Structure 1
Amino acid sequence: MDFRLLLFLSAALFSAVRTSSTIDFQVGVILDLDSPVGRIGMSCLCTASSDFYAAHADYKTRLVLNVRDSNNSVVDAAAAALDLIKDVKVDAIVGPQKSTQANFVMDLGDRAHVPILSFSATSPSLIPRTPYFVQTAQSDANQVQAIASIVKAFQWSQVVIIYEDTEFGHGIMPYLCNALQDVNARVSYRSLFPRSATDDFISKELYKMMTMQTRVFVVHMTQCHGTKLFRKAKELGMMSEGYAWIATSGLMDLFNLADFDDVEAMQGVLGVKPLIPISKELHSFAGRWIRVFLQANQDMKLSDTSIFCLWAYDTFTALATAAERVGNSEKNSKMNEYNVNPGDLFSLGVSETGPKLLRALLATRFRGLAGEFNLVNGQLEQTPYQIVNVVGRGEREVGIWTRSGGISRKLNLNITSSYSTSKENFRTIIWPGESTTAPRGWEFPVGGEKLRIGVPQKPGFNEFLKVHRDPHTNATEVSGYYKDIFDSVMASLPYAIRYEYTPYPFFNPDGSRCGSYDDLVYQVSLQDYYDAALGDITITANRSIYADFTLPYAEGGVTCIVPIKYEDVNDVLTFLQPLTKELWLTTAAFYISTGLAVWILGSRIISSSRDPPGQHAGMIGYFPFFPGEGIQGSLLCLVLVTWAFVGSLLNSTYTASLSSRLTVQRLQPTITDVKQLIKNGHYVGCQEGSFLISFLIKLGFNKSKIKTYKSAEDCNEALMLGSENGGISAYYDVLPHIRMILSQYCGKYMIVGPTYRTDGFAFAFPKGSPAVADISRAIIQLTENGTILEIEQRLSSNSACLGPEGTSSPTSVTLRSFLVLFVITGCVTLTCLLLSLLIHRCKNRASLQITSDFKTKAMSRIHALYQDLKILSQNCKLERK
Structure 2
Amino acid sequence: MKLTMASAKMVSMFILPAMLHAFSSFGWSMAQNSHHRPHHMHVGVILDMESPVGEMAQKCMTMAISDLNATPSQNNHPLKLILHPRNSMGQPLKALSSGENVTKRTLIGPQTSEEAELLGELGDRVPIISFSASCPSLSREKNPNFIRMTTNDNSQVGAIAALVQKFGWRELVIIHEDSFYGNGIIPDLLLALHEGNARVVHRTVIPPQARDIYVEAQLYRLMALSANIFIVHMSPSLASRFFIKVDELGMMSTGYGWIVTDGIANELSVMDQSTLDSMQGVIGIRPYIPPSKRIHNFSLKWRNSFFTKQHPQIPEVNVYCLWAYDSVWALATAAHHLGATTSIEKKDSANKFAHLAAIPLRPTGSDLVRTILRAKFTGLSGEIQLKNGKLQQPLAFEIVNVFGRVKRIGFWTQFNEITTKLDRSTVANQSPSVRDMGSIGWPGSSLAIPKVQRIMPKAGKRLRIGVPIKVGFKELVGVELDPVTNATTVTGFCIDVFKAAIDMLPYGVTLDFIPFTNSNILMGGSYYDNLIYQVYRQKYDAAVGDITITANRSSYVDFTMTFTETGVAMIVPIETSRSTNMWIFFKPLTVDLWLVIGAFFVFTGFVVWTIEHNDNDEFKGPLARQIGIVMWFSFATLFFAQREKLISNLSKVVVIVWLFVVLILTSSYTANLSSILTVHQLQSMPKGESIVLPFNSPADQKFLIDLPFKKHSSYPLRKVEDYANALRDESRKGGISAIIDEIPYVKLFLSKYSDQYTTVETSLYGTEGFGFEGKLYLISQNWFQNHSLYTNQDSAAKVARLDSYSFRGLFLITGITSAAAAIASRKYMKKESTTSQQHDVADKPVEEKFSPVSDIPSRRTGSKHIRRYSY
Q: TM-score, normalising length from structure 1? A: 0.54
1:118 aligned to 2:107? Answer: no
Distance 1:164 1:316, change over 3 A: same
Task: Confirm or deny that 1:139 pairs with 2:147.
Answer: no
CA distance in 1, matches of 2:595, 2:512: 72
d(CA) in 2 for partners of 1:652 and 1:368? 92
Q: Could you say what secondary structure the match of 1:805 adopts? A: coil
Match of 2:323 in 1: 311
**Which residue is 2:385 aligned to?**
374
In 1, Cα distance between the equivalents of 2:801 and 2:156?
78
Q: Letter of the 1:713 partner, please give it.
A: A
2:242 match: secondary structure: helix
| Aligned 8 A contact 1:485 1:791 in 2 | no
* Residues 850 and 555 of structure 1, relative CA distance in 2, 3 Å threshold: farther
Give me the identity figure in percent.
28
CA distance in 2, matches of 1:665, 1:657: 14
1:813 aligned onto 2:806: no
Within the alignment, does 1:278 sit opposite 2:291 as a pair? no
Q: How is 1:822-861 mapped onto 2 (pairs within 5 angstroms)? A: 822-824=812-814, 826-846=816-836, 849=839
Q: How does 1:374-393 map to 2 (within 5 A)?
A: 374-375=385-386, 378-381=389-392, 382=394
Alpha-carbon separation, structure 1, partners of 2:635 and 2:299: 118
Contact persistence 1:159–1:216 (CA under 8 A) = yes
Residue 34 of structure 2: which of 9, 15, 20 is its match? 20
Find the partner of 2:333 among 321, 327, 338: 321
Alignment of 1:425-464 (within 5 A): 439-442=447-450, 452=463, 454=465
Distance 1:748 1:399 in 2: 60
SS in 2 for 1:440: coil
Query: 2: distance between equivalents of 1:353 and 1:732?
Result: 95
State the Cα RMSD in Å: 7.7
- Which one of the candidate residues 761, 784, 791 is aligned to 1:792? 784
Deviations 1:113-155 (A, max 9, x none): 9865432122456579789454201334555677789889999
Task: Letter of the 1:229 partner, please give it.
Answer: F
Which amino acid in the other structure matches residue 226 of structure 1? Answer: A
1:226 aligned onto 2:239: yes
Whether contact under 8 Å (1:256, 1:302) holds in the other structure is no
The CA deviation at 1:264 is: 4.5
Match of 1:250 in 2: 263
- 2:531 and 2:647 mapped to 1: Cα distance? 82
> Residues 818 and 205 (structure 1 numbering): CA distance in 2 closer, same or farther, change over 3 Å?
farther
Shift of the alpha carbon at 1:267? 5.2
Asked whether the 8 Å contact 1:400–1:411 carries over to 2, the reply is no
Where 1:844 maps in the other structure, the secondary structure is helix
Secondary structure of the 2:699 match is: helix
CA spacing shift, 1:431–1:325, aligned 2, 3 Å = same
Question: Gaps spanning 5+ residues in structure 2: where?
Answer: 1-19, 346-361, 482-486, 503-508, 550-559, 617-625, 685-694, 709-739, 844-871
Q: Cα distance 1:813–1:124, how it changes in 2: closer, same or farther (>3 A)?
A: farther
Q: Using the alignment, how far apart are the partners of 1:12 and 1:255 within structure 2?
A: 42
| Alignment match, 1:546 | none
Q: What's the CA shift string for 1:142-200, capped at 9, x where partnerless? A: 55677789889999999765433445345556777898999x99678665332265545
The whole-number CA distance in structure 1 between the counterparts of 2:656 and 2:67 is 122
Aligned match of 2:207: 195
Alignment check: 8 A CA contact 1:99 1:122 kept:
yes
Q: How does 1:697-708 map to 2 (within 5 A)?
A: none
C-alpha distance in structure 2 between counterparts of 1:559 and 1:24, whole Å: 96
Further displaced range: 220-229 or 198-207 = 198-207
The residue aligned with 1:363 is 374
Aligned AA for 2:391?
Answer: L
Quote the Cα distance in structure 2 between the aligned partners of 1:413 and 1:666.
75
Name the SS of the counterpart of 2:465 in structure 1: strand
Q: Note the residue ranges of structure 1 that are not aligned, 5 or more in a row.
A: 1-6, 82-87, 334-350, 491-496, 539-548, 607-615, 670-708, 723-730, 765-775, 854-881
- Work out whether residues 461 and 737 of structure 1, in 8 Å CA contact, stay in contact via their aligned partners in 2: no
Q: 1:836 to 1:720 in 2, by over 3 A?
A: farther
Map Cα deviations across residues 398-454 of structure 1 (whole Å, 9 max, x no partner): 668585999999998675874668999999988766x5xx52133798999997473
Offset at 1:237?
A: 3.0
Shift in CA distance, 632/533, structure 1 to aligned 2, threshold 3 Å? closer
Q: What do the CA deviations read for 1:466-497 (whole angstroms, capped 9, x no partner)?
A: 59999xxxx9996755458999999xxxxxx9
Query: Residue 386 of structure 2 aligns to a residue in which SS?
Result: strand
Larger Rg computed on CA atoms: 2
Cα distance in 2 for partners of 1:653, 1:157 equals 65
Cα distance in 1 between the residues matched to 2:494 and 2:155: 49
- Structure 1 residues 212 and 712: alpha-carbon distance in aligned structure 2, compared to 1, 3 A threshold: same
> Take 1:442 and 1:177, find their aligned partners in 2: how far apart are those partners?
21
CA contact (8 A) 1:92 1:116 kept: yes
Distance 1:170 1:231 in 2: 23
1:341 counterpart residue number: none
Alpha-carbon separation, structure 2, partners of 1:746 and 1:279: 82
Judge conservation of contact 2:265–2:286 (CA < 8 Å) in 1: yes
The SS at the match of 1:250 is helix
Alignment of 1:744-759 (within 5 A): 749-750=760-761
Deviation at 1:792, TM superposition (A): 2.5
Mapped contact 2:42–2:103 kept (Cα < 8 A) = yes
Larger mean Cα displacement after TM superposition, 15-24 or 93-102: 15-24
Alpha-carbon offset, residue 830 of structure 1? 2.0
Change in 2 beyond 3 A, CA 1:156/1:479 = closer
What SS is found at the alignment partner of 1:808?
coil
Change (3 A) 1:185 1:283: farther
Write the mapping of 1:199-598 to structure 2, written as runs, cut at 5 A. Answer: 199-200=212-213, 202-203=215-216, 206-207=219-220, 218-239=231-252, 247-255=260-268, 258-259=271-272, 261-266=274-279, 271=284, 273-274=286-287, 275=289, 278-281=295-298, 284=301, 303=315, 307-327=319-339, 353=364, 356-375=367-386, 378-381=389-392, 382=394, 401=411, 418=429, 439-442=447-450, 452=463, 454=465, 465=476, 480-483=492-495, 500-502=512-514, 509=523, 529=541
Tell me the equivalent position of 2:621.
Answer: none
- Counterpart-to-counterpart distance in 2, 1:42 and 1:515: 76
- Within a 5 Å distance, the mapping from 1:674-753 to structure 2 comes to 711=697, 713-714=699-700, 717-718=703-704, 721=707, 749-750=760-761
Secondary structure at 2:295's aligned position in 1? coil
How do 1:78-227 and structure 2 match up within 5 A?
Answer: 94=108, 97-99=111-113, 117-124=129-136, 132=144, 134-140=147-153, 162-172=175-185, 191-195=203-207, 199-200=212-213, 202-203=215-216, 206-207=219-220, 218-227=231-240
* Pairwise CA distance, 1:810: 0.9
Residue 364 of structure 1 aligns with an amino acid whose one-letter code is A
- Asked if the contact 1:158/1:188 (under 8 Å) is kept, the reply is yes
Partners of 2:802 and 2:612 lie apart in 1 by 33
Seen in structure 2, the aligned counterparts of structure 1 residues 503 and 357 have a Cα distance that, compared at 3 Å, is: farther
Q: Deviations over 1:655-696 (max 9, x none)?
A: 996998899897899xxxxxxxxxxxxxxxxxxxxxxxxxxx
Residues of 1 paired with 2:523 and 2:384: CA distance?
77
- Report the CA distance shift for 1:51/1:827 in structure 2 as closer, same or farther (over 3 A): closer
Contact 1:536 1:761 in 2 (8 A): no
Q: 1:90 to 1:811 in 2, by over 3 A?
A: farther
**Superposed displacement of residue 367, structure 1:** 3.9
Change (3 A) 1:228 1:515: farther
